[in-house]
Amino acid sequence: MQTLEQTHQKFSQLKSLLSEIEDLYGAEAVLHWDQKTYMPAKGIEARGRQLATLNRIAYEKFTDGTIAQLLDDLTTYERDSPYDSDEASLIRLTRRNCDLASKVPTEFEVRFSLLRTECYQAWATARQENNFALVQPTLERMLDMSREYSSFFPEAQHIADPHITGSDYGMSAVSIREVFAELRAQLVPVVEAITSQPPVDNSCLHQHYPEAEQLAFCHNILKQMGYDLERGRQDKTLHPFMTKFSIDDVRITTRVYENDLIQGLFSTIHEMGHAFYELGNAPELEGTPLAGGVSSGVHESQSRLWENLIGRSRPFWQYFYPQLQAHFPSQLGAVSLETFYSAINRVDRSLIRTDADEITYNLHVMIRFDLELDLLEGKLTVKDLPAAWNDRYLSDLGVIPTSDSNGVLQDVHWYTGQIGGMFQGYTLGNLMSAQFFDAAVAAHPEIPDRIETGNFTVLHDWLQANIYLHGRKFTAAETIERVTGSTLGTKPLIDYVHRKYGSLYKL
């Protein structure tokens, strides 16, 4: 029988061990960020080794048995603490992570970390040279290792489930297939109705927009939307991402094209949405695994909410468009708000996921999700992947990639993460973003009016109180239930699509 004092001592020992591990992850994040922003190409070999070393130390610390023993000793403490308390939540989450890690050998983790660095670099070259063959052998090893990872979870119902569990805990290949099929059935007729109309003229977005001026405007948007530049910064990269070194250093990256105004703009708002989430965690969660976002779907719900439901909305541009016109007078001075608003919401069958409108975007995700399952199930080989990719683009979106770079090489995920569980979060996030936004507007009907005046705090504060603050205390299903009172569903997103695009395209 352990005294209360001993229990508290064990809990604080657990916290301090976890905090050391979080520091190692923070250091890894700095190295990753540097690799993807400023590192010279030849730094890659040493960088891969450094990342693998940090990863191994963190992993060994986590799995050497000390934490597992502390968790055992804290079973009663967890049971006696309220479910939503920091204490019970930390023990619960750590136990879940520990069970997971105990199944994967350290040797495998180290090998996988090295392969990821190697594959990322091979992808970058292959993409630049527009040649899938340059990365094919490395990606074949990536598929082998992704399958090997699943083999550590023999109880999984589907070979993709261990990967899905890693990013969207509580979801499975079967449950996602079901919700995707339902969504797809409702989206396809909308896409057909829209694309049978003459395309919207979006030439105003494809004039010459100098990079430096685009970055300056993005910086201005970040400031006005409330991204704290003393707790974050924005840099350029090949594939935009958000990264956290600590609760007070949450960074974002972007890419800018001089002939396309919206890439930089919307990737900035997207990554800022991710950053809001991490910056909004309760300070008490800092240095524990409870800091962060619930799952890839819930994280994505925040980036997509800010990017699409706000950033592509009329009220948002009623406020920002005069500023944008003043920033680019020769390009946009004579372009009306209506023309600009229609242009940024143009729906078409396109090749690139990150350029896609918010409706067809989900079809891009579903293609990747299905291909991942086919690869893992052994129905598709890596060698045949580019052709399978092109076939699906033709049948689902009516377009054929003209090259590997705008086909199978466009996304970094499979080349830097693993094959499996990498894409479903985007569409799960879209579904949740509509659900969360409906709940926010139900609580504060004035939100759209406030946005029209450049005030984002009502929405931000509501998201902070309901989602950001809690970090990873709850699962995705619990979060949706707590915030909206219901379960994950397709109706809010479909209703939103009909409302917005019904009027844009007179459907």
- The helix (run of H) or strand (run of E) holding residue 243 is strand 242-246
For Zn ion, which is the closer residue by CB, 166 or 454?
Answer: 166
Q: How far is the CB of 298 from Zn ion (least distance, A)?
A: 11
What are φ and ψ of residue 251, in 5° steps? -105, 155
Structure tokens at 363: 């079809």
For the residues of 20-42, what is the DSSP string, one character each?
HHHHHHHHHHHHHHHHHHT--GG
For Zn ion, which is the closer residue by CB, 138 or 303?
Answer: 303
For Zn ion, which is the closer residue by CB, 202 or 303?
Answer: 303
Three-state SS string across 134-155, please? Answer: HCHHHHHHHHHHHHHHHHCCCC
Binding string, 295-324, against Zn ion, x = CB under 5 A?
--------x---------------------
CA–CA separation, 488 vs 207, rounded Å?
40
Under 8 Å between Cβ of 362 and 434:
no
Bridge partner residues of 236 (DSSP): 254
* 81 near Zn ion (CB under 5 A): no
Whether residue 271 lies in the annotated active site = yes
Q: How far is the CB of 239 from Zn ion (least distance, A)?
A: 11
Structure tokens at 444: 């504060």
For Zn ion, which is the closer residue by CB, 81 or 303?
Answer: 303
Catalytic residue among 78, 118, 271, 372: 271
Q: How far is the CB of 55 from Zn ion (least distance, A)?
A: 23
Q: How far is the CB of 242 from Zn ion (least distance, A)?
A: 7
For Zn ion, which is the closer residue by CB, 109 or 168?
Answer: 168
Q: How far is the CB of 142 from Zn ion (least distance, A)?
A: 21
CA–CA separation, 201 vs 99, rounded Å?
54
When CB distances to Zn ion are compared, the closest residue is 303
Residue 301: CA atoms inside 13 Å, Cβ hemisphere, count?
26
Under 8 Å between Cβ of 199 and 347:
no
Under 8 Å between Cβ of 427 and 366:
yes
By annotation, the residues acting in catalysis are 271
Binding site for Zn ion (CB under 5 A): 303
